[in-house]
Structure 1
Amino acid sequence: MSKEFRPPRGFRDFPPEIMILRKSLISKLENVFKKYGFDPLDTPSVEYWETLSGKYGEEAENRLIWRFKDPWSEREYALRYDLTVPLARFISSHLDLQMPFKRYQIGPVWRHEEPQKGRYREFYQCDADIVGSPYPEADAEMINLIIDAVKSLGFESGFDVRINDRRLLSGIFEQELNIKSPITIYRIIDKLDKIGIDNVKKELSQLLNNDVVEKIIDLISMKGKPNEIVENIDKKYGKNTLVKNAYDHLNEMLGLVNNKDKVVIDLSLVRGLDYYTGPIYEVVLKEPKIGSVSGGGRYDNLAGIFSGKQIPATGGSIGIERIIDAGLELGIYNLDKKTFTEIQIIFIEEETFKYAWDVANLLRFNGYNVKIDLNRSKEDQQRKKANKLKIPLLIFVGKKEKETNTVTIYNTKTNERINVNISEIAVKIKNLI
């Protein structure tokens, strides 16, 4: 293919076999979201620049957000960077919603990333959020939902939910270690998985004295079972009000989490976005090494930026692109399904086409996915095309079938061939599909 006709870097075409897999996985996620009482919501792909500005942090706003000026109005716009800030904007103009408000949204977002495995410039996020509850049970429900969602996608094991709390970090970094600009420090720590502990230490050393750097390294090296880590932090920093609040919240939240064996407290987890205020989490697969496949946390101040009224909220997002990449690599998924078509009508002679056409319409009326050749191909060509797509049922129509008001059904999986009267076809096929 000529280079000029390819999609831009970081953007992709999705052929039918990929789209069929994607739609199947998204349907499974929607079923989990609905099971927990979440309803769908959608927001525009484009937002005013001022809506997104000041919400994500320096790196996102200076490099990652797709930002442009409308040549007709001179107004600045941006492609949405995530689904959370648009939700906060929506909430601010719909304050009469019944709270807690639980919504899910599945749609594309755009980031000016450097493309690599598992990282694209256009990708889908599958979000669920609870707006209006400040309580630990809302965070616990999010953790339970995300674990159920990841399991529903075929990852029964082989993943951890890493949890931390921004109040722990604020209490220790800002008040105990007296760091005046913790967001800068968080962003360095957030690169731990990419650059390693030695490079994190090196970058921190350029901003802080060695004693503080060593304390931070010791802190972010703490990782393990929830009870052990949380109790250790409480003993060491429990007199700090923020740490104590985080400890109480986490304890109550973890008591409501269903799959505690999946949970790891990881104090190196900071989540790079500026708007988090409480519990934060990421879901990481043990294999392959593809980064987090889900992440989120509590953001109690975000909607208030738009409304002037504090509205507590917590939520999470599942990255379907990384899930698919990982599932294909692990063999959990395959691309064997090439079409949604269940039945191919094959007419043997051109003069039987109208009869075949009527059979196709009858089957569609009864709810089946049916394809009929529209290119006047020979019978063997029709059959070859159907076999290439692995269509399970072939229905042959020739002069004999037309004269006797029947069809011949061929099951490609069992090699069974039966002749059926047209009046019985819908019932017969129901037992074969």
Structure 2
Amino acid sequence: MSKEFKPPRGFRDFPPEIMILRKNLISRLENVFKRYGFDPLDTPAVEYWETLSGKYGEEAENRLIWRFKDPWSDKDYALRYDLTVPLARFISSHLDIQMPFKRYQIGPVWRHEEPQKGRYREFYQCDADIVGSPYPEADAEMINLIIDAVKSLGFESGFEVKINDRRLLSGIFEQELNIKSPLTIYRIIDKLDKIGIDNVRKELSEKLNKDVVEKIVSLINMKGKPDEILENIDKSFGKNVLVKNAYNHLNEMLELVNNKDKVVVDLSLVRGLDYYTGPIYEVVLKEPKIGSISGGGRYDNLAGIFSGKQLPATGGSIGIERIIDAGLELGIYNLDKKTYTDIQLIFIGQDAFRYAWNVANLLRSNGYNVKIDLNRSKEDQQRKKANKLNIPLFIFIGKKEEETKSVTIYNTKTNERINVNLSDIIDKIRNLI
């Protein structure tokens, strides 16, 4: 028995029907990004290790980033972990670029995750970021863009946008609860959906006294309509400067958000990455339970790490892998489209091949996607292959068609069969596809 060769664990092949769906969805996202005035950018898959080191937190640096040494130069490299740090590196060497700089980027990233449903070791991120604006308008535009993007992918309802602000957390944790290392606490809270509140309480208890733990648990249980939650926070902690700044920023931002009915304030939302400095958000589906499908926030200090010049920035990412998994499960998407081919040329007898070949050239020159058999197969075999691919139109060509300079068109959806002069074929097909 021959050995079966598979991709490594957490990596996948994508057959044509999956790729067609992926490209369709990515095209929808690009249209939304462009509608908001974002332009494309690309960066390398490989970065110097020092570029990524110290930007994401201990877990990412010690376990999740794919790091390797170049055997020829002995330099340390890494596969990119996200698209945000490479953007910050790019900006640091292009400080003359017009601000605010609005870019989108779509490409694969790599993380040494434990593979499971909706979680892979190689996956695509679809990012949009605004660099150069410190104002709530930029954060509001990002949330509006993300909501429009999710809707464009077919999720008109059944999702919510959870928001919070790192300054709320910092003000309460550091100044009100005297927690010296809040990032460590954020990382524990960030695991809430994975391990549950009891295990979060247990891990917090290993680092903090019981009274502080219960205050944190009470805090992260606060979730609801923005007006109500923010007013409660302001009443309890409004004298704290960081909390007040966050409160004002979030209120200004929310005034500009178009779909407020989709938005909730959730104080358990912390986002695990170290570089966030202000508003943060995630988009989650109510069903299926696969985690967030989008996330992001403000990171005003990241570009300054590379350039020494502080550049305010905000942005978000959409996870196309989870979107596809959820859409297939919910029946929003299907894999019926197995080819881009519009027309299958079916020649009856090898003598008709040359005429069929010329018809294929004519159709392609007019913008149609055409397959023609290259294995000298019999008519029934050509038809069988085309049926498996759900190709919408068949064009039959035999001796009779060649003699009369015509073709026979068969519409697989309506079962209609018509004979058309070759001179009229383009006009006729235009009405069928």
Cα offset, 1:3, TM superposition: 6.0
Unmatched 5+ residue regions in structure 1? none
Cα RMSD over matched residues? 0.8
1:107 & 1:252 partners in 2: Cα distance? 33
Cα offset, 1:79, TM superposition: 0.2
Cα distance change, pair 46–4 in 1 and its aligned pair in 2 (3 A):
farther
Letter in 2 for 1:21: L
- Residue 368 of structure 1 aligns with which residue? 368
TM-score normalised by L of structure 1? 0.99
1:71 & 1:62 partners in 2: Cα distance? 21
**Deviation sequence 1:109-130 (CA, Å, 0-9, x none):** 0000000000000000000000
Q: Pairwise mapping of residues 340-359 of structure 1 onto structure 2 (< 5 A)?
A: 340-359=340-359
Q: Pairwise mapping of residues 252-267 of structure 1 onto structure 2 (< 5 A)?
A: 252-267=252-267
Q: Pairwise mapping of residues 42-61 of structure 1 onto structure 2 (< 5 A)?
A: 42-61=42-61
Secondary structure of the corresponding residue to residue 193 of structure 1: helix
Letter in 1 for 2:114: E
1:2 & 1:139 partners in 2: Cα distance? 55
- Residue 242 of structure 1 aligns with which residue? 242
- Residue 192 of structure 1 aligns with which residue? 192
1:3 & 1:29 partners in 2: Cα distance? 40
1:355 & 1:399 partners in 2: Cα distance? 9
1:196 & 1:349 partners in 2: Cα distance? 67
Secondary structure of the corresponding residue to residue 235 of structure 2: helix
The list of structure 1 runs, each at least 4 consecutive aligned residues, that deviate by more than 4 angstroms after superposition, is 1-4
- Residue 421 of structure 2 aligns with which residue? 421
- Residue 150 of structure 2 aligns with which residue? 150
- Residue 280 of structure 2 aligns with which residue? 280
Letter in 2 for 1:162: K
Letter in 2 for 1:160: E
- Residue 132 of structure 1 aligns with which residue? 132
2:65 & 2:4 partners in 1: Cα distance? 24
1:2 & 1:350 partners in 2: Cα distance? 37
Letter in 1 for 2:144: N
Cα offset, 1:423, TM superposition: 1.0
1:209 & 1:386 partners in 2: Cα distance? 68
Unmatched 5+ residue regions in structure 2? none
Secondary structure of the corresponding residue to residue 103 of structure 1: strand
Task: Tell me the number of residue pairs that the alignment of Structure 1 and Structure 2 aligns.
Answer: 433
- Residue 71 of structure 2 aligns with which residue? 71
Cα offset, 1:5, TM superposition: 1.0
Letter in 2 for 1:14: F
2:197 & 2:380 partners in 1: Cα distance? 63
TM-score normalised by L of structure 2? 0.99
Letter in 1 for 2:412: T
Cα distance change, pair 2–258 in 1 and its aligned pair in 2 (3 A):
farther
- Residue 35 of structure 2 aligns with which residue? 35
Give the share of equivalent positions with the same residue, in percent.
88
Cα offset, 1:349, TM superposition: 1.1
Secondary structure of the corresponding residue to residue 203 of structure 2: helix
Letter in 2 for 1:288: P
Q: Pairwise mapping of residues 82-231 of structure 1 onto structure 2 (< 5 A)?
A: 82-231=82-231
Cα offset, 1:88, TM superposition: 0.3
Secondary structure of the corresponding residue to residue 5 of structure 1: coil
2:387 & 2:195 partners in 1: Cα distance? 49
- Residue 309 of structure 1 aligns with which residue? 309
- Residue 396 of structure 1 aligns with which residue? 396
